[in-house]
Copies of this chain bind each other. A is one copy, B any other.
Amino acid sequence: MYSFFNNEFIPAEKNFIHVSDLATQRGYGIFDFFKVVNGKPLFIDDYLHRFYKSAEAMRLPVALSREELKKIIEELIQKNGVSEAGIKMILTGGYSPDGYEIARPNLIITQHALTMPGQAVLEKGIKVITHEYVRDIPHVKTINYVMGIWLQQKVKEQHAADVLYHMNGLVSEFPRCNLFIVKENDEIVTPANRVLWGITRKNILSLNGKPYVVREEDVRLEEVYAAKEAFLTSTTKRILPIVQVDDKVIGTGKPGPVSLAILSQLIELERAYADYRFIF
């Protein structure tokens, strides 16, 4: 399996970075992650847009243009000859002489096996717990997951699948996923603020009016507890129905019809993109 570092393709197992990089020294960097389906990087322009936006927000110049980066991604996919995969791009703070000032960023691109949720979890749904926290600079996809990883022990102890952040009564997101709830009137809402603008989230928002109303607004924790349905979204997971939040059962305690309808529509969007759209 090949990967990429700055300007060359190298075997993944030989992809090393010097310890003076600001990622190792100070956890400073940004990243993005997208799926390759049928040999095509899904919604690549959206992911690249976010990647460059994150880099800009964190004052990290990207040496390559979007077109150059796209070409490298295409070449990596071809070299590895895997039609279904995940690709991660990391841009670090670079080799900083004083271990604090941003230097010339290092670009790392790696390809990974994709593990999508199985049918069992879609039929059963998941339990999530909650934690009072807001990510630093939440609309930027930084590599800082200190809280999310630290909370994994609590997640496991409570036999949950993930942890939902909230602050001052408002929920925001999961460490790596967005939240949607279905209200009593079948309107679908997702927290508007203090969240990462997920691409799957964006795709679901694009389904507004087909036929469900889908929109962003502030969502209180009590509204989540009282929701008819709830689900989380991410690139790898697409949609996972949430049937329990803390000790509160959501709706009927089973994945609901609206969540599953949205999942079908999302898969349809992916299929249309991968099958019919010529990307490069």
Q: Which residues of A contact B (CB under 8 A)?
A: 3, 5, 13, 15-29, 31, 58-59, 88, 90, 92-93, 99-102, 108, 110, 112, 133, 136-137, 142-150, 152-153, 176
Contact = CB atoms under 8 A, between A and B. Distances in A.
A180 to B, nearest CB: 22
Contacts of A21: 24
A79 to B, nearest CB: 17
Nearest to A17: B19
A142 B143 CA distance: 14
B19 A15 contact: yes
Given A17-B19, A25-B90, A59-B150, 8 more contacts: A13-B18, A15-B18, A24-B29, A27-B27, A28-B146, A28-B149, A137-B147, A144-B144
Given A137-B150, A144-B27, A149-B26, A19 B19 contact: no
A19 B91 CA distance: 11
B143 A24 contact: yes
Contact of A16 (B3, B17, B143, B176): B17
A25 B110 CA distance: 11
A24 B26 contact: no
Contact of A152 (B17, B23, B101, B136): B101
A238 to B, nearest CB: 18
A113 to B, nearest CB: 10
Given A15-B19, A18-B15, A150-B58, A92 B24 contact: yes
23 contacts: A15-B19, A16-B16, A16-B18, A16-B19, A17-B17, A19-B90, A19-B110, A20-B110, A24-B90, A25-B90, A26-B143, A27-B144, A28-B145, A58-B150, A88-B99, A93-B149, A100-B152, A100-B176, A101-B152, A102-B152, A133-B136, A137-B150, A144-B146
A1 to B, nearest CB: 12
Q: Which of A13, A31, A150 has the most CB of B within 10 A?
A: A150
